[in-house]
A and B are shown apart, each in its own frame.
Chain A
């Protein structure tokens, strides 16, 4: 099955924009939807992006998702950073061949 690789950590200042990447190791990123989950310390994950670029109700439009077949990766972009965005972010997709759900290793976002 494929792997999803994320940077271990990113940091940016409040009000700025940050992008977190998620690279698929084999097979096309376009084959299956990519989801993004936010996990604040001590809390369960919640969805910020589903189906590559859709936001659940209640998620601010500062969060956006995209995919790029040339780099075989998905990206989560957070604009107008707030201290409350500080969290771990996980990408997730589905492996048709192995019939299993796959998570990236997670990225720790620090807003300083």
Chain B
């Protein structure tokens, strides 16, 4: 059964860089038909898409965050990562990694989610 597992530092100092990783297990990240991405949810608030990447390296970013974001993929380790620089308290959130399916047989949607990792920005 394919799963996604996020990992992150938990606590980040203001103005520093948040680094997150998502490990894909039970299947290869190097398959056509999927984008791998990050979605966050501040405490008590809604979902916000952050960025997505294809195993080929093709990537998309939320325009409102783009200047602070880097998403990357490591096919040898079957994981993808996110870096968010110059963080503030507004970046405190539960960060999910999620898979976007573009396969006709599965449908176009975020069909697989991790359980999320909480990142708190605080001094």
Contacts and interface: CB of A to CB of B under 8 A. Distances in A.
B115 A44 contact: yes
Interface string A7-45: 000000000000000000000000001010101000011
Given A45-B110, A45-B113, A51-B107, A99 B60 contact: yes
B55 interface: no
A39 to B, nearest CB: 8
Of A35, A44, A50, A106, most buried by chain B (CB within 10 Å of CB) is A44
Interface stretch (B22-30, B42-50, B82-90): B42-50
A83 interface: no
A30 to B, nearest CB: 15
B109 A47 contact: yes
B81 to A, nearest CB: 19
Contacts of B52: 101
State the majority secondary structure of interface residues on A: strand
B: contact size bracket: 20 to 34
Given A44-B96, A100-B60, A90 B110 contact: no
Contacts of B75: none
Interface in B44-72: 46-49, 52, 60-63
Interface of B: 37, 39, 46-49, 52, 60-63, 96, 100, 107-111, 113-116
Interface of A: 1, 33, 35, 37, 39, 44-47, 50-51, 54, 56, 88, 90, 92, 98-106
